[in-house]
Structure formats: C-alpha cells, structure tokens
Amino acid sequence: MRLIVVGSGIAGASCAYAASLLGAEVVLVDAAKPGRATAAGAGIICPWSAQVADPAWRALAYAAAREYPALIDGLAGLGETDVGYRRVGALALAEREEDRERIRQALVARRAAAPEIGEVTELSGADAQRLFPPLRADAAAVYIGGAARVDGRKLAGALARAAVRQGAVVRDGEAQLARDGGRVVGVSLGGELIEADAVVAATGAWTSSFLQAAGLAVPVEAQRGQIMHISLGAADTSRWPVVLPGASGHYLLAFDNGRIVAGATRETGSGLDYRITPAGLAEILEQALAVAPGLADGTYLETRIGFRPMGPGIRPLLGPVPGLNGLVVATGLGASGLTMGPLTGSLAAQAALGLAPAIDLKPFAPLPGPSS
C-alpha cells in the first residue's frame, strides 16, 4: 500500500515513521514553510498540569505522554539517539500555599489513572531555586516528576530519517491534493502526479489552504508563537526542570549546554505573518525575568517563530474525511503538538492504512459526517 504524507513536522514525520514500520510504501513531502511549528516549539511534555477539562483531549494527551519513552527507545534502537529528550520534571509555580495544595491534589488524583505523572511534591522557593538556579528565591512550586522535554526539530528529523531507513522516500516541494471524484488519488508536486492509495494531510497551520484546493473547508488557523533562546554559557543545565509559572501561560525550560528557552507568545489571529515583533520580545522578556531574574545576564541567542495549528476547539483534527476516500487529516495540535504529535501521527498512519486505530478517532473527526 502506498501512502503519501504531506508535511514533515512532528505529526507528518511520526506518521511516516509509523506507516513505514507497518510496511507501507511511504512518500513524505514537505515544502519547508517558514514558521513550521515543530521547529519553534518549546518541547514541554507535561499534559497533566494543563487546565483542560475535555476528556477526549486528556485521553489522547495522556496516552501520548505515556508512549513517549517507548518511542524514544525505538528510535535509539535504530541509531537515532540525539533527540533532546529527557525526563527532567517540572516546577508548577504557585505563590499561595492554598494554590499549591490545589495543584498537588489535582495531580495526585490524576495520577491514579496516569502513574507516569510520577512524584508530586510541594517545594519551597529555596528548593525550587536549587533545581533551577535563575529562579526568584521565593518561587515556591509543586514538583511533577514525570514531566519531560524534547527538541522538536531533532525529533522530527530523527523520525523522518528512521522512516527513510525503513524505505520511505522524502520529496521537497509544495504538494497539491489530486482527487478524482470522491477519491483522493495522490498529490501533484511541481506538475508531477504522485499516485497513492491514501494521503495524510499533516500540513499544520497550512491545512485550510491545502484542503481548500480540493473543495474542503477544514477550519485550522495559525496562532503565532515567538519564543526566545538564551545561553547561560558553561552552566550544566542538562537536568534542570521545566518551569510552569501558571496563569500567564509563559514558561521556561533548559536543554544541554546552557541553552534556556523562554516562551512564548500566543498571538491568536496572527495569520501566517512570519515576523519577530518588539511587543513579542518585550512580553517574553518581561514574563521570563519576573520569574527568573537570574537570566538577565545570559546571552541572547535567537528568537524562533512558529505557527500553532489551531482547530475550532481544543481537540486535534484527526481521522478520515467523510465523502472523500483516501484522505486522512492529522492536525489541529495547537499548543500541545510536540506532546501529542507522535501518537497522532501513528494513529493517522493506522487509519490511512485501513487498520483499526488504537484509540477511537470519532471525537477528533476533522469534518462532521453526513449523519451527524
């Protein structure tokens, strides 16, 4: 069976990897759009602290986080060991004791069904600062042991290379969906028709325009995120936890070699406007330095821009499209795509290859079916 995956961000690269492991003949196409979310995403994997009540979102996000270690081990077995993944824990900051207690209790309650949440402990400001030294000394927190971080760029690259090692072919360029009546027959790439039994649209924030050409209105909007990287030089930051400051939605995390990531803006309605703005930089710095004044003397490295693919609700848009055979959509991952992308991509592969997906995809239908 031949499958074309359009988009090699985390969703598409994961889909190509999973499909090639399932024995499909895979073609992975990408247009290298500026603002690919996967190349800008912070990489926090900690869905249990999100204020999301939707049970379908939670089931998918928790399952995705649970399956991460197996994915990382699988890639390591294929020689892909450099993906920036580490279970470093997270500090959910909360000034007031009653807020810390509320957070702790909620996490402990969720842990019954999600043991991967790991250790949940209240920490004093001094203890939190020992784990993440640039923090304010009074930044008390709840520690979440199971939280991890990953480098989206490296992971997507590793998944695509691993897929190629299983026989997948990578093509560069802008794909257009090719349909024949009620069936997708492949994509056209620079005038060449590449035929396939199924196509997966893992086209991120570009999904609406990709599908519009085939007459489909799938509502995905771009939400710009600007995110800053700062170097702390020779500091050993490799095991510093993620810092989740709460209501503002801003956060900090650390990778190896002194690299700190401070994010991020959430610019709803931005469209695909690929720019770094003074207001974006000011917002990131104000939020980061208020929590971690110790970053003030670091070295500014870069600011990345990514377009989060936002569906009409919190849920990803995942599954076949009614009335158009051979097309599966895998997008709408919003602010949690580096967490959910690997599982989402793998479920999309299963659906596209005609297998029963490991999780019921009905709640994630990209378009309502004829009978609903």
Q: Closest CB to ligand FAD among 204 and 319? A: 204
Residues 6+ apart with CB under 8 A from 15: 5, 200, 202, 330, 345, 346, 348, 349, 352
Q: Looking at beta carbons only, is 107 or 243 nearer to ligand FAD?
A: 243
Binding residues for ligand FAD restricted to 309-328, rule: CB under 6 A: 309
Among 118, 134, 263, 319, binds ligand FAD (CB under 6 A): 263
Is residue 222 within the footprint of ligand FAD (CB under 6 A)? no
Per-residue x/- marks for ligand FAD, 37-76, CB under 6 A? Answer: xx-xxxxx--------------------------------
Residues numbered 9 to 28 that lie near ligand FAD (CB under 6 A) are 9-12
Which string of x and - marks every residue 89-108 that binds ligand FAD (by CB under 6 A)?
--------------------
Q: Does residue 184 belong to the site contacting ligand FAD (CB under 6 A)?
A: no
286-292: long-range contacts, CB 8 A cutoff, minimum separation 24: 287/245, 287/248, 287/250, 287/262, 288/228, 288/250, 288/252, 288/262, 291/93, 291/135, 291/136, 291/139, 291/243, 291/245, 291/250, 291/252, 292/132, 292/134, 292/135, 292/136, 292/243, 292/252
Q: How far is CA 361 from CA 3, 178, 328, in A?
A: 19, 25, 11
Task: Work out which of 23, 32, 52, 257 binds ligand FAD, going by CB under 6 A.
Answer: 32
Q: Which of 206, 240, 255, 364 binds ligand FAD (CB under 6 A)?
A: 206
> What's the min distance (Å) between Cβ of 46 and ligand FAD?
8
Stretch that binds ligand FAD, among 127-135, 289-297, 319-327, 331-339 (CB under 6 A): 331-339
**Candidate segments 230-238, 286-294, 303-311, 355-363, binder of ligand FAD by CB under 6 A:** 303-311
Distances (CA, A) of 20 to 68, 175, 255: 18, 20, 30
Q: For the purposes of burial, counting CB atoms within 10 Å of the CB of 99, is it exposed (0-12), middle (13-18) or buried (19 or more)?
A: middle
User: Which has the closest alpha carbon to 230: 202, 263, 207, 203?
Assistant: 263
Distance in Å, CB of 117 to ligand FAD, minimum = 16
Distance CA 29, CA 24 (A): 15
Rounded to whole angstroms, the maximal C-alpha distance in the chain is: 65
Stretch that binds ligand FAD, among 7-15, 91-99, 121-129, 138-146 (CB under 6 A): 7-15
DSSP letters for 302-329 = EEEEEEEEE-SSSS-EEEEETTEEEEEE
Run of H or E residues at 77: helix 55-77
Among positions 117-156, residues that touch ligand FAD (CB under 6 A) are 152
Figure out which of the listed residues 20, 336, 346, 350 binds ligand FAD, where binding follows CB under 6 A.
336
Work out which of 71, 333, 351, 359 binds ligand FAD, going by CB under 6 A: 333
Q: Which is nearer to ligand FAD, 96 or 248 (CB)?
A: 248
**Which residue has the closest beta carbon to ligand FAD?**
337
Q: Which of 24, 29, 93, 114 binds ligand FAD (CB under 6 A)?
A: 29
Q: Which residues contact 289 (CB under 8 A, 6 or more apart)?
A: 295, 296
Nearer Cβ to ligand FAD, position 59 or 122?
59
State the Cα–Cα distance between residues 116 and 108, nearest whole angstrom: 11
Point out which residues bind ligand FAD (CB under 6 A): 6-12, 29-33, 36-38, 40-44, 152, 174-175, 202-206, 210, 225, 227, 263-264, 306, 308-309, 331, 333-339, 341
